[in-house]
Amino acid sequence: MADITRRLGWRHLRSAHTAHIRHHKRGRLVHDGRGLSFWYRSLSAALSEVPVDDRELAMAFHARTSDFQDVAVQATVTYRISDPAEAADRLDFSVDPDTGSWRGAPLEQIATLLTETAQQHTLDVLARTPLAVALVDGVASVRGSVAAGLAAEPRLPATGIEVVAVRVVAIRPEAEVERALRTPAREQIQQEADRATYERRAVAVERERAIAENELASQIELARREEQLIDQRGTNARREAEEKAAADGIRTETEAARKVRLAHADAEAARETGAARAEVQAAWLRVHDEAGPGTLHALAATRLAENLPRIESITLSPDVLTGLLTRLGRPEGGTRLERPEGGTRLERPEGGAGA
């Protein structure tokens, strides 16, 4: 919509570059072009504003297929006004000189023309197409038919309208039909899902079986190795017992041999000791046999004195001492008394032994 301002009975119009302005004054075309800006008087001016930009027209309508099924078609047509003068002559694009708003509804007329033309060609195509084919290939066929029909429509170029593009968004059946059509596909998808689930479960069961078999094989191998270990331990224990028995036998034999040797040595030592003692005893007896009775008495007294308890002091009367000295001073059997300086000593004959 053009931007119009008021100044002391004059009006100033300023349009966008996407709007074509036509200004007639007293039947003459004064201004004609895009993006104009000028002053005018509202009482003598006739203004028209034609948009020349691309416009999108969304349309939705119902159609019926060859098997009598209702479908909803959603499409979009892009168009523009390529000849503003022709469009202004054929359609009412006049604007109020005071407000700049359209007095009529030219764009609605163009939308009705495009929608009816597109719907006519769409109905013609779908009426010869079954529902299944329309849902699969209907979009392309409908788009081609609508584009060809709009291009061949004589009213559009006569009105200065050019169709830029045609797009068919969707072709949908009724809700019940759509659910019915979805059911086989859903059942198939569900079957595929169930099959995949079963296959996954089968794979899982197979893997579990393989794992169980591996565990069982591992347990069998472990038991076999434990059996081998037990056998080896028994063999080692028997070998150790045999080695220990052999070592004990060798040690026993060695100890017995050592004891035999010791016994022989002890016997030999005993024999030699007995022989030596026998010789000593024989020599002792020979000495005693050769010694006289007095000497033997003296030796007996000496030995007796050695074996008596310790006597701290002894008192001898002169009579006893005189008698003893008289007896001891009497020479007998080769025994002699000597009186060296400092005391009296009794000597046994050479080679003698005391009794």
**Rounded Cα distance, 47 and 167, in Å:** 35
For residue 212 the two structure tokens come to 């169980």
pLDDT in tens, 138-177: 889 999 999 999 999 999 999 999 999 999 999 999 888 8
pLDDT in tens, 330-355: 655 444 444 444 444 444 444 443 43
Beta strands in 41-186 (DSSP E): 45-51, 55-64, 70-81, 94-95, 161-173
Longest dimension (CA), the chain: 213
pLDDT value at residue 212: 92
pLDDT above 80 (res 203): yes
Per the CB < 8 A criterion, the answer to whether 298 and 335 are in contact is: yes
pLDDT value at residue 6: 85
Q: What is the mean pLDDT of residues 88-106?
A: 87
**Total-model pTM:** 0.52
64's CB contacts (< 8 A; 6+ apart) are 70, 71, 123, 126, 127
**Rounded Cα distance, 192 and 309, in Å:** 129
**31-37 contacts at long range (C-beta below 8 A, 24 or more positions apart):** 32/85, 37/12, 37/13
Q: What is the mean pLDDT of residues 188-209?
A: 90
